Structure 1
Amino acid sequence: MADIPSTGHVGEVRAQRFAMRGEGIGERSSAFVAFARQQVDAGRKVVALYPAWRSEDAERAINFARGSMRTDHVAGIAVDLSPLALSLIADQLAYLAPYLPPGMVAALCDELPRHLLAGAWLKTVSGLSTIPTSMRQHMGSFAPSVSFLAYCAPTARVGRLRPADVSRTLPFRPVQPVQLLCSTPDPSITGVFDDNLPQAIQPVATRTLPVQPLGPVYWGTSRYVEFVALSAHPQALAYAAGAIRASYCSWCGEPMSGRPCPFCSADSPRTGAGVRTPQTSRPPVPESAPRPQRRPSPGPAQGPAEGPAEGPAPGRRRAGPVPSDPPSDGTPPPPGGRGAADGRPTPPTADRPEGAPFTGRALWPGTPRTYSR
């Protein structure tokens, strides 16, 4: 819900855009309200993304749609990302929407930015207000040879561009192979960017896209090169979706990973109701995955046995299957007590500076694939 055109990186799948243009708020929000009414009447729910730094018109349009239809099937999600990153996230969510319930789509609005490296090279930060900056950085903007690298995902921070430290100071490295998207209003100023950031990220492909109309508004200057680095691995989106741990809302029943619920605003999950993958869509166990083995039950205390174990002693009842040994490579077991044969990937931790490789992970059959033209 902003003037943020599609990047086209997810092929023909694109989220519906509403530029919010017009003389008054009624004219600016009429197209979205008509779209929301059509979707709700068809039995669907709407997840509306809008930039947190340009939110007034979008919030009023969402509230008007909810109030006029007297429904909680329209959820508004504020995303604090640059225009290029927000455009990519919106199309990725549109690609995943047929595979996931609306509550999980809303939860991915916070999860997907954790798998991106997004930001911009800036000649000056004197007009930057969307990312915190220091007085020293503002004063450094007046020096002719100083430039900056500002990141908005997965964390928001600004630092001076020092060529020797670019690779070491990256806040995140997407899982290989990496694709790099970039855009700029002035192609003549990309020399410093081209000499430093691509060498640190090592992308397999780089795409130059048209400039986003709201890019100068977000970065506070027209002398910038905006970029997004993402994993081009075919299981990247499925892994991000599998990293969410959600529970059902106690009021509307939608999965939610945070509070309050994005649809009905309820602040409590249903007791003991975690979101689980249906039995019909459980991922298959790969042939290379270790399978749990039963330990032989110990016999009576009579010293070491001279032959292989024959099972429990007569007259004794087995208490139940004994859990298998942990993997021999030292990998800790996944949370919740599930063994490796469960086939689900372990979610990434928030403090990990680099994405984990996908080798050996079993995911849902028919998982969505990321690709570019």
Structure 2
Amino acid sequence: MPTAIAVTSADLVLPPTDQQTPAAAVLPAPDSRPLDAALADMQMLLEQHGHVVVAYPSSVTTDHERRLFAVRAILESDRVALLKLDLPPLGTAVLVRQLRQLSLCDFSPGIIASAARLLSHYIYAGAVLNSVAKLDRVPVSLKAHLKGWMPGSQFAVLAGPQPQLIRIGQGSGLLTGPEFGAQFGTRMLTARGALPSEWVTDTLAPAWHVQDVQEAPLPDQSPRWWGTGKLVEFAAYLPDITVLYQLVASVRRERCHWCGMELIGDRCAFCSAPVPAPENRAHDSGVLNQGTSPNP
């Protein structure tokens, strides 16, 4: 069975791109699911899939996050990875779907979990907002804060991979788009809040050479993440599973020195242990290494 992908709310589970893409398990908030039931849910996922990768946005409530850690601690399981993502909720949903796709590939659970950090750099997630006065997850200048209180103002904000903010209007320019669009193609997902704006579909998508724009319901955590419910959220991404597979497969693999899981990047997604620096790694003591430099 493929590695199980889990989320903290059903609105982070986007429709599959094909008939093979598996669904994601939903781990509800503590006020809607008692602890004993949450433990049983996680135990069942582990029995069926072996490993569970839980992805959730940084805007999730503190109680919900504590529940996730409590369940993992009570079960004393080293087969549960908890990924707190800095992406906005819609971008998180896109990344979750990509992990669901990759779970069917020949990657180990450690590679799938640590691939989240890599793939997040290829998701251009942002929003059009009526105000940035309460936006605290993207750097906002004092001038933009002051303009955020002016009636009728609209701002385009890019949260990642590089934060950017512009005020929509004459001569405002555009947000910096993905560089991979011309070579691999780009799709965009949008989610509308209480803001009547067509700027994303009429202006941004053509400028970014987006091949297809689809709409999804606005995630419940989006107003909390962006600081306002008057928004249009968007996320541009790589849709081709073949390209995603090549991205992950091209990165050097390591073995976690603490828990033994495979990983890519500089940190294990399951136990959070960092990859030792080359000069601090243990080396074989066999005769082939005698008299050689300890540096690789």
Q: Is the 8 A contact 2:114 2:268 kept in 1?
A: no
Q: Does 1:52 align with 2:61?
A: no
In structure 2, list runs of 5 or more residues that go unmatched. Answer: 1-6, 285-296
Q: Does 1:179 align with 2:175?
A: no
Please, which of 87, 93, 97 is the counterpart of residue 93 of structure 2? 87
Q: Is the 8 A contact 1:260 1:266 kept in 2?
A: yes
Q: Does 1:158 align with 2:158?
A: no
Q: Is the 8 A contact 1:62 1:74 kept in 2?
A: no
1:162/1:29 CA distance change after superposition, 3 Å: farther
Please, which of 247, 252, 261 is the counterpart of residue 259 of structure 2? 252
Calculate the TM-score normalised by the size of structure 1: 0.64
In percent, how many aligned pairs have the same letter? 24
Q: How many residues align?
A: 268
Q: Does 1:17 align with 2:26?
A: yes
CA distance in structure 1 between the aligned counterparts of 2:209 and 2:181, rounded to whole angstroms: 11
Match of 2:75 in 1: 69
Please, which of 93, 106, 113 is the counterpart of residue 113 of structure 2? 106
CA distance in structure 1 between the aligned counterparts of 2:111 and 2:283, rounded to whole angstroms: 18
Q: Kindly state the Cα deviation for residue 140 of structure 1 after the two structures are TM-superposed.
A: 1.0
Structure that is richer in helix per residue = 2
Q: Kindly state the Cα deviation for residue 118 of structure 1 after the two structures are TM-superposed.
A: 1.1
1:228/1:9 CA distance change after superposition, 3 Å: farther
1:131/1:183 CA distance change after superposition, 3 Å: same
CA deviations over 1:262-288 (Å, ceiling 9, x no partner):
323444457579xxxxxxxxxxxxxxx
1:243/1:117 CA distance change after superposition, 3 Å: farther
Question: Structure 2 matches for 1:196-207, cutoff 5 A?
Answer: 196-207=203-214
Runs of 4+ more than 6 Å apart: none
CA distance in structure 2 between the aligned counterparts of 1:193 and 1:267, rounded to whole angstroms: 39
Q: Kindly state the Cα deviation for residue 236 of structure 1 after the two structures are TM-superposed.
A: 2.3
Q: Is the 8 A contact 1:119 1:226 kept in 2?
A: yes
Match of 1:129 in 2: 136
Greater Rg by CA? 1
Q: Kindly state the Cα deviation for residue 208 of structure 1 after the two structures are TM-superposed.
A: 1.6
Please, which of 222, 231, 239 is the counterpart of residue 232 of structure 1? 239
Match of 2:293 in 1: none
Q: Kindly state the Cα deviation for residue 120 of structure 1 after the two structures are TM-superposed.
A: 0.5
In structure 1, list runs of 5 or more residues that go unmatched. Answer: 274-373
With 156-165 and 39-48 compared, the bigger mean Cα shift is at 156-165
Q: Is the 8 A contact 2:103 2:112 kept in 1?
A: yes
Question: Structure 2 matches for 1:287-302, cutoff 5 A?
Answer: none
CA distance in structure 2 between the aligned counterparts of 1:234 and 1:63, rounded to whole angstroms: 31
1:225/1:86 CA distance change after superposition, 3 Å: same
Question: Which amino acid letter does the alignment assign opposite residue 203 of structure 2?
Answer: N
1:81/1:265 CA distance change after superposition, 3 Å: closer
Q: Kindly state the Cα deviation for residue 9 of structure 1 after the two structures are TM-superposed.
A: 4.8
CA deviations over 1:34-70 (Å, ceiling 9, x no partner):
2321233457111111222325234322322232222
